[in-house]
Structure 1
Amino acid sequence: MKLLHKLRGYKTVIVAALAITGMSACTKNFEKFNTDNTGINGDQLGPDFNGLGLYLKSAEMAIYNFSGGGDPNSFQVQQNLNADCFSGYFMSATPFASGVNNLNYGLVSGWNGEAYKVGYLSVMSPILKLRSTGIEKNYPAVWAVALIVKVTAMSRVTDIYGPIPYSHVGENAPTIPYDSQQDIYKRFFLELDTATQYLRAQIASNTKLPFDFSQFDVVYNGNFNEWLKFANSLRLRLATHIYYADNNTAKTEGEKALNPANGGLLTDNTDNMTVKITGSFTNPLAFIAIDWADTRINASLACYMNGYNDPRISKYMDKSTDAGFAPQYIGIRIGSITNANSKDDYVKYSNLNVSDGATPSFNKKTAVQLMTAAEVYFLKAEAAMRGWNNAGDIQQNYEQGIATSFAQWNVSAPGYTSDATSKPAAYVDPKNVNNNLPSPSGITIKWDPAAGDEAKLERIITQKWLAMFPEGQEAWTEFRRTGYPKLFPVAVNNSGGTISSTVQIRRLPFPQNEYSTNPATVQDAIKLLGDKDNGGTKLWWDKKP
């Protein structure tokens, strides 16, 4: 594990990087940024279109923040030690920052700005450069893909912080204001309108591009039909996000996505939105699990899967290797690692499935999953519950989501969807009885059409959460939006009262660099949050009672 060795200078490195590129305070000259992943420049935009393609490829890979050279430290603090753990998927045995860190709500300032930095330097920067080439006019379908990548990536950033600079990024102005999250979502939908319009036109005309787009597209190999289905599915996801804050817009946008005349949705595992690993890049989650032993399975996930006898459990995680108790699927309770010696105690709890079985599910070249057909079926199930047009039947979508996830992981359990008795297991920590907790929920698997809406929603989201693994960013958003699945609370809460152990963490504070270099603008953003910039502050869409 390298992070502890880097923490001391981490903030300095970020500030220096932002200052060098001109990004500090999210101010002017965004067009001068250079993406970390490619190092390309405008001179490479020659007749072979190589530079143009590399801008797009680098942005696709930056959604999940791939790292080259065997150093996924950035991804670790961007997502793994935040959303991946807050979502109930992962936990670390490492007592970072002397045991007071994000995993027990003692938020580390140097960690909290990483997602912000990556969003602008590694996604917005290359996409703005791509636009400056005239791509929208000359090759609108390629620009459509860039827009979809932009919305995918920046929706993750706004769902971490809330207000962020968005609509005015790239303008030559002394400062770039923050947009409210409501306005950002409105712009996302408009950008998806443009993207899907361009894609439908390209598909209808079947115009041949003067270059091989597939060599730059590490998601769908240049298949515009697949990008259209993903764009519609992304629209449905984002529409669902805002249901409790603006159900009218949610319904309008959701029904636009569900309308088959608009190009369809992800329906099969061959449609899944996954980003391939190329060259010297690695899957950062697998790297952290294998080389640094810094991520392990969360107790919440293990207890749900054990209680449900879920056949995917052996695909998601390895059994424990601690000689002190029998090998089993067991996770670490979030917030329980505060002791300097705890890594030796807990590192042998269940890891990501990188070792067990003839062909473990994860290695350093495993493609990164960002959205699956299974998730879309669960989105449709919720849409059907809300009465949205073209959503289909609730139960059929729910059961198809489970079946599609099982097919994705190549497992079977014929009686799973008819199981009306199994419930999530209680947590028993062989190392510390103080961490023990009863079952987090009484929700069962079998669909019950007579259940109330909340029970129906809990079933849908719980199974959706199980199917989305290991994509913790979206899973954390869904937990905050709906309250499901019910997750174990932190064992120790070091927030000083700003984050409720019951409600759990809602967002990350703005980067410290914004306070240092752009105090007036960041204060305007904090006003949009109700004058509180802490981990307990709810986002705009976080409105469910």
Structure 2
Amino acid sequence: MKLPNKILRHKYSICVAIAALLLGMSACTKNFESYNTDNTGVPDGSLTADFNALGLYLKSAEMAIYNFSGGGDPNSFQVQQNLNADCFSGYMMSPNPFGGQTNLNYFLVTGWNGEAFKVGYLSVMSPISKLRNTGVENTFPSIWAVAQIVQVAGMSRVTDIYGPVPYSKAGTAKTGIAYDSQQDIYNRFFRELDTATTNLRTYISSGKPLPFNFSTFDVVYAGNFTQWLKFANSLRLRLAMHIIKADPTTAKAQAEIALNPANGGVITDNTDNMTVKVSGAGFTNPLVFLQQNWADSRVNASIQCYLTGYKDPRTSKYLDKSTDTSFPAQYKGIRIGSITGSNAKSDYVNYSSINLKDGPSPFFTLTTPVQLMTAAEVYFLRAEAALHGWSNAGGTSQQLYEQGITTSLAQWGVASATYINDAISVPDAYTDPKAPANNAPSPSSTTIKWNDAAPDNIKMERIITQKWIAMFPEGQEAWTEFRRTGYPKLFPVVHNNSAGTISTDVQIRRLPFQQNEYNTNLTEVTKAVQMLGGPDNGGTRLWWDKP
């Protein structure tokens, strides 16, 4: 297929997947040169003497978690996340048909689907590898702790897209870079978080300041190591919950470590939310850029129907009303898999976007920090932990569920005396004013009000549905939670062009390995497919993704 012009302008070529990045392998000269050219502007020879270098490398990795890479060019983010997880999660949909056969109707585009792989290694792992080469883990263990947390946060997103990826052996050879099973990767994540949180607790208790101002480089917590510790524990809890069906023993053990107050606590307040600030000339919030400047992204029908059906007070903060003059202004999303025609963009571009213009103070601007974890999400994780009977959840499932809702409402500056007790409202059915063939009944009959007498599956649906609403617009984690739990119930694709490899009802489970790995690392990527236990396509479940 012919790729969209803007994506073609982003000319990326990836050579030996990890080899070309962590140790600068020479299989691909362009990427070898790119890796060994210091994009922070600090010569390698000055690293041990220049505190700026430490901060710049870490800042680069922090910004890459959501992808502010490529000098602020949103092309990379568009194919890394927006044209897959953002849409698969039920949050976004593009009005642009991009030629008609795309990820958004399950015709998976090879040229798009390697971007998350590339960003994980070139933009997260590479600067952290350079940082480690300065000896920072011995000289400044607190800085190294933050780097480890950033690496786990970034690379957990990569493995949750593909499954097995090179991790423990990355950079150990020039060719034949082995993949790790996803189970081994998760176990390594937990060990790395062990080291990081131990170092942070030691540093915090010492009360000794660093000999340089780390806050000027930290675009997440401005040098507040206590907040980094809370995020690390919250991240551990999130990862533990991911694996509950695949390895319940480890999931419980790791969750209880995270929840143990002696270990530093988890995020409980919106002031500790994990957000990445837009920092540096030319950088913008990439999701806002796609919606505002290119009009290549709009709101998905699923999130719109849950918000409007539940009469959610966050609706006007999340969304703008449609501006299409052929029907009355309203909140109107686009159903995934429905865009096929050559004139589709002009037909659908005036459906709802994120809140860019409505109201006195639109929530989303080009400089809005990117949200990656919130206190609300952590309360819902704790509600689920309480449902399983795990230690230190800090309340009952009902208490934590309701606290998750109220914390999210507070984050978005809204209040409601009735929302949390609504036992009647359900998600709306979807109607498409332009194409009735896209219409669909309400995806769920689940209401908002907690019912302690309900069966566990209904309790889980309530927890995850409200968690999904609260995590908006962070589609990567939302897609993971949908695959892990089956909730919320999302509208399936209208047109499924996967040739039978992806179930319309079960929906897409992963992205295939990038083609360049087959070209340059064939033996190892073939082993990785064997680890998957199924074919390398979008219908094969990851290790933690159990029916």
Tell me if both proteins adopt one fold, taking TM over 0.5 as the criterion: yes
CA distance in 2, matches of 1:12, 1:377: 40
CA distance in 1, matches of 2:427, 2:244: 27
Distance 1:271 1:143, change over 3 A: same
Paired amino acid for 2:90: G
Name the counterpart of 1:71: 73
Q: Is the deviation greater in 82-91 or in 172-181?
A: 172-181
The Cα offsets for residues 240-297 of structure 1, whole Å up to 9 and x where unpaired, read as 0000001000000000001001000000000000011112211000000110000000
Task: Give unmatched runs, 5+ long, in structure 2.
Answer: none
Distance 1:40 1:120, change over 3 A: farther
1:162 aligns with 2:151: no
Q: Is the Cα–Cα contact under 8 Å of residues 481 and 542 in structure 1 kept in the other structure?
A: yes
> What is the Cα deviation at residue 59 of structure 1?
0.2
| Partner residue of 2:355 out of 353, 356, 377 | 353
Name the counterpart of 1:524: 527
> What is the Cα deviation at residue 347 of structure 1?
0.3
Paired amino acid for 1:222: G
Q: Is the Cα–Cα contact under 8 Å of residues 26 and 175 in structure 1 kept in the other structure?
A: no
1:247-262 alignment to 2 at 5 Å?
A: 247-262=248-263
Q: Is the Cα–Cα contact under 8 Å of residues 36 and 121 in structure 1 kept in the other structure?
A: no
CA distance in 2, matches of 1:36, 1:107: 33
Name the counterpart of 2:82: 80
1:139-538 alignment to 2 at 5 Å?
A: 139-172=140-173, 174-280=175-281, 281-391=283-393, 392-538=395-541
Distance 1:24 1:43, change over 3 A: closer
Q: Is the Cα–Cα contact under 8 Å of residues 120 and 154 in structure 2 kept in the other structure?
A: yes
The Cα offsets for residues 290-317 of structure 1, whole Å up to 9 and x where unpaired, read as 1000000000000000000001011111
Q: Is the Cα–Cα contact under 8 Å of residues 25 and 513 in structure 1 kept in the other structure?
A: no
CA distance in 1, matches of 2:378, 2:339: 35
Name the counterpart of 2:13: 13
Distance 1:322 1:74, change over 3 A: same
Distance 1:139 1:357, change over 3 A: same
> What is the Cα deviation at residue 17 of structure 1?
10
CA distance in 1, matches of 2:398, 2:219: 34
Distance 1:300 1:34, change over 3 A: farther
SS at match of 1:349: coil
CA distance in 1, matches of 2:436, 2:54: 57
Paired amino acid for 1:297: V
SS at match of 1:348: coil
> What is the Cα deviation at residue 69 of structure 1?
5.5
Paired amino acid for 2:84: N
SS at match of 1:292: coil
Paired amino acid for 2:251: A
Q: Is the Cα–Cα contact under 8 Å of residues 18 and 121 in structure 2 kept in the other structure?
A: no
CA distance in 2, matches of 1:43, 1:65: 27
CA distance in 2, matches of 1:134, 1:70: 29
TM-score, normalization by structure 1: 0.96
Q: Is the Cα–Cα contact under 8 Å of residues 307 and 422 in structure 1 kept in the other structure?
A: yes
Paired amino acid for 1:325: F
Paired amino acid for 1:89: Y
CA distance in 1, matches of 2:37, 2:199: 26
SS at match of 1:47: coil
CA distance in 2, matches of 1:480, 1:26: 35
Distance 1:521 1:31, change over 3 A: farther
Distance 1:259 1:457, change over 3 A: same
1:539 aligns with 2:542: yes
Name the counterpart of 1:58: 60
CA distance in 2, matches of 1:60, 1:35: 19
CA distance in 1, matches of 2:92, 2:459: 26
Identical amino acids, percent of aligned pairs: 69
> What is the Cα deviation at residue 384 of structure 1?
0.2
Paired amino acid for 1:467: A
The Cα offsets for residues 501-541 of structure 1, whole Å up to 9 and x where unpaired, read as 00000000000000111111100000001141000000000
Q: Is the Cα–Cα contact under 8 Å of residues 20 and 27 in structure 2 kept in the other structure?
A: no
TM-score, normalization by structure 2: 0.95
Q: Is the Cα–Cα contact under 8 Å of residues 315 and 360 in structure 1 kept in the other structure?
A: yes
Provide the aligned C-alpha RMSD in A: 2.1
Name the counterpart of 1:95: 97
CA distance in 1, matches of 2:110, 2:26: 16
CA distance in 2, matches of 1:46, 1:253: 35
CA distance in 1, matches of 2:28, 2:166: 7
**Pairs aligned (count):** 541
Q: Is the Cα–Cα contact under 8 Å of residues 37 and 122 in structure 1 kept in the other structure?
A: no
> What is the Cα deviation at residue 149 of structure 1?
0.1
Distance 1:273 1:459, change over 3 A: same
SS at match of 1:447: coil
CA distance in 1, matches of 2:20, 2:229: 37
Paired amino acid for 1:434: A
CA distance in 1, matches of 2:11, 2:527: 23
Q: Is the deviation greater in 500-509 or in 210-219?
A: 210-219
CA distance in 1, matches of 2:316, 2:103: 28
CA distance in 1, matches of 2:76, 2:289: 12
The Cα offsets for residues 104-145 of structure 1, whole Å up to 9 and x where unpaired, read as 000000000000000000000000110110000010011000
CA distance in 2, matches of 1:26, 1:489: 40
